[in-house]
Amino acid sequence: MPSLLKRFTLVLNRPAWVLSAAMACAAPAWADFIAVGHPNYTSAAVGHLFIFGASGATGTVTSKDGVFNQTFTVDASGVAEVTVPSSQFLDPSNTVLGKALLVQSASPISGYFLNREIYTTDMSYLLDLPALGTEYRVMGWENSVAGSLQMSLTATQDGTTATITPANDLSSGQLAGVPFTVSLNAGESVIYNAPTGNDLTGSRITANKPLAVFSGSGCANVPVGVFACDHLFTQLPPVNRWSRNYVVPETANTGAAGNLVRILAATNGTQVTVNGTVVATLNAGEFHQIDTAHDLHITANNPVLVGQFLKGVGATGFGDPAFTFIGGMDQTLSSYAFTAPTSLSPYDENFLNLAVPTTALASLQLNGVAVDTSAFTPVGTSGYSAGRVAIATGPGRIQASAPFLATIAGFTSADSYLTIIGTSYSSGASNPDPVAPMPVPVGGVLPGLAMALGVLGVAGWRRRQAQA
């Protein structure tokens, strides 16, 4: 049992909000997280759960329905790979399912979930349970050539009631702008689909207890009409984890096409500035889209969510669409553990996309070796410089003398993935950095309370698994 649970007596038959002050402020000594798969182009897709941390770290991967129950051990290279069949993905829609995977360890770990089918793949970093919240706005995409536009929610505690207000009509009949509710217990999920054209961006999800929320598309063209389609998939942060300040480094292999970037508001009257120019004033649930995005400095007077998309091979010549949210510059770390997909699912090329304080460029190291940053370029007046660093398959560590932003992307013929590799509020196997401030809460629950609620949910889930 994790050390945090040893330190406190949890009265599990009492309401979850009955917490000691010490527990509400304590930092977890491990990083449990939830993984789900969304339906890909066909059922031939396979999920690859990459778990990384210190060699010898052990744990379990279990589902509430009891179908999936595996142990793992991080090998000498620093990574464990667990294969997940598509039968464990969230399907059918509009149905309460017990297919979500809870990954548990007594050691600090991080995880990615890679949903891979030939020519249609994406991967998401998995947020630590304490990072989850009770209010979300969905960031998604408008197109799905095969399958549907997708958003899912998974409960961490029994007695969870979620209210969903979709931005567009859902395939299951729920109407745009009309709230509806769903009741879930710990480990239960629901996925909602929408037909192509019914963009779910801006949909609002609230709950009385923390949720894990994921978004994407079965197989999307980005931009619409550009060959070829690819699976889109990312876990989303709650609104209280959004930021007002972002530097978004362009990814590798974009050429003149650049990336596509969306900026989503949760508050009316949100003014958005990009590279020094005011580009939009948004109300809650509205977004601004940048069709040709290179290195960007984005600021706003209220917290916003930023999503970055890779474009199709028809635009870039290599790779295909992929999607991730971007962390804010007040949520960065000075050292990140990561892994590029290994073993059963390697990629031809893998890169870290970085935004590093210009004054700290000389300190940047990859696996203890200085990085050549001569090709990095300043991003406007942000104080950061952006660049891309090629990396090998497998685990590694990137670090500098000051906190910086990092994402990871992989490319092969007409196929790609893109995701973050950690944040200060979800550091996993990357040690928390005391010099990177936590975000100011915006709605939802306070970070300490969210952590404590997540701990109680994990304890309850573990107890039920033991009793099963």
User: What is residue 346's predicted lDDT score, i.e. its pLDDT?
Assistant: 85
Ordered DSSP codes for 47-68? EEEEEEESTT-EEEEEETTSS-
Point out the least confidently predicted range of 10-24, 30-44, 200-214.
Answer: 10-24
pLDDT at 221 over 90: yes
In tens, the pLDDT along 445-466 reads 333 333 333 434 444 444 344 4
Tell which residue, 243, 238, 249, has the closest CA to residue 263. 243
In tens, the pLDDT along 130-144 reads 999 999 999 999 999
HSE, CB side, 13 Å, CA atoms: give it for residue 147.
29
Tell which residue, 98, 102, 54, has the closest CA to residue 78. 54
**3-class SS at 132?**
coil
In tens, the pLDDT along 23-68 reads 223 334 357 999 999 999 999 999 999 999 999 999 999 999 999 9
Distance CA 370, CA 153 (A): 41
| Cα R_g (the chain), whole angstroms | 20
User: What is residue 345's predicted lDDT score, i.e. its pLDDT?
Assistant: 72
What is the average pLDDT score of the chain?
A: 88
Q: Are 162 and 211 in contact (CB under 8 A)?
A: yes
Ordered DSSP codes for 114-129? EEEETTEEEEEE--BG
Point out the least confidently predicted range of 16-30, 64-78, 224-238, 418-432.
Answer: 16-30
pLDDT at 442 over 80: no
Q: Are 388 and 351 in contact (CB under 8 A)?
A: yes
| Identity of the amino acid at 30 | W
Mean pLDDT of 429-440: 51
Dmax (CA) for the chain in angstroms is 59
In tens, the pLDDT along 365-399 reads 999 999 999 999 999 999 999 999 999 999 999 99
Mean pLDDT of 192-220: 98
Compute φ and ψ for 62, nearest 5 degrees: -135, 155
Mean pLDDT of 277-294: 98
User: What is residue 456's predicted lDDT score, i.e. its pLDDT?
Assistant: 40
User: What is residue 432's predicted lDDT score, i.e. its pLDDT?
Assistant: 54
Distance CA 312, CA 332 (A): 29
User: What is residue 30's predicted lDDT score, i.e. its pLDDT?
Assistant: 52
Mean pLDDT of 333-355: 92
- State how far the alpha carbon of 150 is from the alpha carbons of 166, 209, 302, 438, in Å: 11, 22, 27, 30
Mean pLDDT of 298-322: 97
User: What is residue 445's predicted lDDT score, i.e. its pLDDT?
Assistant: 35
Mean pLDDT of 2-20: 29
Q: Are 222 and 192 in contact (CB under 8 A)?
A: no
In tens, the pLDDT along 101-116 reads 999 999 999 999 999 9
Mean pLDDT of 169-189: 98
User: What is residue 342's predicted lDDT score, i.e. its pLDDT?
Assistant: 84
Indicate the pTM of the whole model. Answer: 0.88
Centre a 10 Å sphere on the Cβ of residue 13 and count the other Cβ atoms it contains: 5
User: What is residue 115's predicted lDDT score, i.e. its pLDDT?
Assistant: 97
